[in-house]
């Protein structure tokens, strides 16, 4: 019986030593930089999730308030003003009569020594067309399905153009414009105008009056770094 007790005591001693050794190893591991870094990152992720959930709740609340105000019969003037602001901001899809202008590079065969750049579309060529349409009263314009805003830039990037910061488009360029079809067509095809100039170099220009033109809403982000509402 006494020998059995000694065996139990020895087993408990060994088990205690093993547990203490294991605890020490675990403590040392938790103190290492990779583990601490992982724990810190996990804590930051959890906090970001909480912040995200809080922001989402605020967004949902604001959307609910917005829908309630927009649907309220007592706020008809406010809703009409909001709709006009959306149209001017370009965040609403629009449709109406207008024109469709198609631009494409020249398909002419170059003669020896000729500069090939003269026979391909450049950003200034597209801008000339856009300026003529705007001057002729175009109320909304898109290029290859990309809505143009007041701050939209058009610039060359090799054989393509970039607009709205990161939208890369390649020819043919299909420009959809809402407005009076006759006025818009004449602004492009008038004698000595932009179409005649481009066609001199073989650039393909097509203008088609449309009974139904759809200009999509702008879907990108907008950010003003320097402009602010005047007080």
Query: Is the predicted pLDDT of residue 136 greater than 70, yes or no?
Result: yes
Residue 78 included in any domain: no
pLDDT in tens, 90-129: 888 999 999 999 999 888 777 777 777 777 888 899 999 9
Rounded distance, CA 175 to CA 103, Å?
A: 8
Q: Nearest Cα to 207, choosing from 123, 133, 127, 125?
A: 133
Please give the pLDDT value at position 96.
96
Please report whether residue 107 resides in a domain.
Answer: yes
| Shared-domain flag, residues 100 and 24 | no
pLDDT digits (tens, 9 = 90+) for 137-169: 999 999 999 999 888 888 888 788 888 888 899
Q: Are residues 117 and 186 in the same domain?
A: yes
191 in any annotated domain? yes
Tokens of 143: 């290029």
Assess whether 111 and 191 both reside in one domain.
Answer: yes
What is the structure's pLDDT at 134?
Answer: 94
Q: Is the pTM of this model over 0.75?
A: no
Number of domains in the chain: 2
- Does 2 or 157 have the greater pLDDT score? 157
Asked if residue 209 belongs to a domain, the reply is yes
Judgement on whether residues 171 and 106 belong to the same structural domain of the protein: yes
Note down the domain range covering 24: 2-67
Q: What is the CATH number of the domain that holds 192?
A: 3.30.70.1880
Q: Would 222 be classed as within a structural domain?
A: no
pLDDT at 73: 58
């Amino acid at each position: 019986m006494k020998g059995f007790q000694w065996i139990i005591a020895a087993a408990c001693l060994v088990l205690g030593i093993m547990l203490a050794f294991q605890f020490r190893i675990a403590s040392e591991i938790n103190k290492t930089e990779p583990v601490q870094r992982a724990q810190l990152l996990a804590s930051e992720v959890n906090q970001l999730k909480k912040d995200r959930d809080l922001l989402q709740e605020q967004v949902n609340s604001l959307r609910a308030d917005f829908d309630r105000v927009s649907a309220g019969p007592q706020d008809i003037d406010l809703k009409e003003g909001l709709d006009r602001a959306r149209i001017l901001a370009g965040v609403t899809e629009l449709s109406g009569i207008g024109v469709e202008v198609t631009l494409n590079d020249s398909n002419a065969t170059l003669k020896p020594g000729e500069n090939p750049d003269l026979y391909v579309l450049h950003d200034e060529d597209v801008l000339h067309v856009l300026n003529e349409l705007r001057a002729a009263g175009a109320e909304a314009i898109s290029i290859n399905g990309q809505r143009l805003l007041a701050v939209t830039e058009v610039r060359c990037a090799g054989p393509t153009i970039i607009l709205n910061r990161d939208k890369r488009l390649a020819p043919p360029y299909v420009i959809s414009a809402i407005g009076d079809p006759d006025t818009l067509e004449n602004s492009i095809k008038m004698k000595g105008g932009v179409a005649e100039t481009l066609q001199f170099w073989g650039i393909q220009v097509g203008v088609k009056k449309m009974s139904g033109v759809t200009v999509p809403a702008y879907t990108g982000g907008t950010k003003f770094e320097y402009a602010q509402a005047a007080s």
